[in-house]
Amino acid sequence: MPCKIAVIAYLCTNSQHAMTSNFVDYVKIFFRSGNGGAGSMHFYRSKKTPKGGPDGGNGGRGGHIILKGNAQLWTLLHLKYTKHLFAENGGNGGENRMTGADGKDIYVEVPLGTIVRDPETGEVEAEVTKDGEEVVLMKGGRGGKGNDFFKSATNQTPKYAQSGEEGIEAWKILELKILADVGLVGFPNAGKSTLLSVVSAAKPEIADYPFTTLVPNLGMVAYRSGKSFVMADIPGIIEGAAEGKGLGLRFLRHIERNAVLLFMCSLSEEKPIADQYDILLKELERYNPELLDKQRVLAVTKCDLLSPAARKKTETELRKQLPDNLPFVLISSVAGTGIDTLKDMLWKALSE
């Protein structure tokens, strides 16, 4: 999977401290594609041919603005201080039917999962999801035709040529949505970062207070027979996240690209597990109802707080309270309880 390349690069080159300060998932840039070159209005002249025919060449096209997917990039940090990007104009046509040079294209390398929005309408205009994928965001203007192009049997000496077509200019928003197989959905302090640190080589910051995780973390989870999948620990949800409360929309944006959503509800919270799950589900629905179409798995965390007998009782009660089609498991990342079962559930959901 393309996202696995990005995960490997991230794990090898980044620490949580660096990511906290360097993770950028939103930039706004003014782009301008190049103008097309003007066609030439020229007539051939020499000592032997004082009144030759038209030989003006066409102008070259203006440079394009092109987005290119790069699986080695993890954030939009390299574009953070870029406010303007202008492609080169096309060259003018010349005598002797010489075509002007095409303007140099501008290639903007972006991480996989980057989308482009119109800042006024919010409409998504382009997206890049594959390594090496190229998307022409703005085409350069076409070059104008020289007067040689317009000659005909009835118009043997056209005394006109086209000017080049103007390029396109506009502000655009580049927004990153993390590509991962499994996205962790839960309240702050639900144990998401701890789980990721246990099942992968990722080293997220872990502490016993809300919003320890301020930026997404990716981890490669090893499964049976050499198989693996990518898990994303993303900042926790609070009620009202869909309206932008807490880390709000910055969080919700990143789960749109995940294939499976792993809901994590903690036994240490005052609210019952079923209520926690319902609140999380409603926030997702308010943000984007299509998220409810994704496969879901529930991990009930911190089960090491219960005795074996209480654990069985809790499991029986949850079977009655939770939807029949929602697979769930009680886990403890600290004690390692239920982790293998959870991996099996996630792999099954991914396979489906």
| pLDDT at site 238 | 54
Instruction: Please answer whether residues 69 and 128 qualify as being in contact, where contact means their C-beta atoms are separated by less than 8 angstroms.
Output: yes
Q: What does pLDDT average to over the chain?
A: 85
Model confidence at 190: pLDDT above 50: yes
The fold of the 26-176 domain, in CATH, is: Spo0b-associated Gtp-binding Protein; Chain: A, (2.70.210)
pLDDT tier for residue 316 given thresholds of 50, 70 and 90: very high
Average pLDDT for 194-219: 62
Pick the CATH number of 182-351 from 1.20.810.10, 3.30.70.520, 3.40.50.150, 3.40.50.300: 3.40.50.300
Which of 322, 325, 6, 34 shows the shortest CA–CA distance to 178?
Answer: 6
CB-count burial class (<10 Å; 0-12, 13-18, 19+) for 67: buried
Instruction: Please answer whether residues 137 and 126 qualify as being in contact, where contact means their C-beta atoms are separated by less than 8 angstroms.
Output: yes
Average pLDDT for 251-262: 81
| Spans of all domains in the chain | 26-176, 182-351
Contacts 24+ apart (CB under 8 A), 207-212: 210/236, 211/235, 211/236, 211/246, 211/247, 212/188
pLDDT digits (tens, 9 = 90+) for 3-47: 454 444 444 444 444 444 567 888 999 999 999 999 999 999 988
Instruction: Please answer whether residues 134 and 43 qualify as being in contact, where contact means their C-beta atoms are separated by less than 8 angstroms.
Output: no
- CA dihedral for 200, 349, 192, 257, sign (positive or negative): positive
| pLDDT at site 290 | 87
Instruction: Please answer whether residues 125 and 116 qualify as being in contact, where contact means their C-beta atoms are separated by less than 8 angstroms.
Output: yes
pLDDT digits (tens, 9 = 90+) for 72-128: 888 898 999 999 999 999 999 999 999 999 999 999 999 998 999 999 999 999 999
